[in-house]
Amino acid sequence: MPEEFKVCFGFGCKSSQWVRLNEVEWGQVKSLFNQVTDARTERRRIKEAVAMMETLVGQYSPTHRDIGRNWLFSNYKAAPRTGQMDCIDESLNTTTYLKLMENIGVLRYHLVQRRAYRNNFFAQHWAAEILDIATGQNYVVDSWFRDNGELPYLVKGESWYNF
């Protein structure tokens, strides 16, 4: 069972908190990957596991208050408050969750990569990234658009990078 891990919030990881999930909670995450026999199914389970991790971690940190996107630009519901995250926080946390999943051996068809970054005329953006071992196809796992505990987007890298 993994030790404590750090989660970020507060825009640009200005705030952080150490969290430890118990055996039952890790069992819930692991059970999502039971009977996974191919990469496509594993990607579906990765989405579910990231959402579950956000919910579980939110029990121990203020991240349960996170509203999708940045409140400054697009979401009037999310007044500035402790626990709100930008894409930097989201990408760091999602990458942490994925690495923990990799370390406990539930990812058999994917490897966790360095965080994905894009910069277009309008904005910069960060997200987590995985690699399909068999095909070499990269996929981006982007939880920033959604509220805490909702399924993240998981798309082929070229679609995300060229958005």
Tens digit of each residue's pLDDT (9 = 90 or more) over 25-59: 999 999 999 999 999 999 999 999 999 999 999 99
Query: Coil, strand, or helix at residue 121?
Result: coil
Share of the chain above pLDDT 70, in %: 93
Give dist(CA 13, CA 148) in Å, integer: 16
pLDDT at residue number 59: 97
Residue 155 pairs in a beta bridge with 140
pLDDT at residue number 71: 56
Judged by phi (left if over 0) then psi (alpha if -120 to 50, else beta), residue 96 lies in alpha
Confidence of residue 77 (pLDDT cuts 50, 70, 90): low
Confidence of residue 80 (pLDDT cuts 50, 70, 90): low
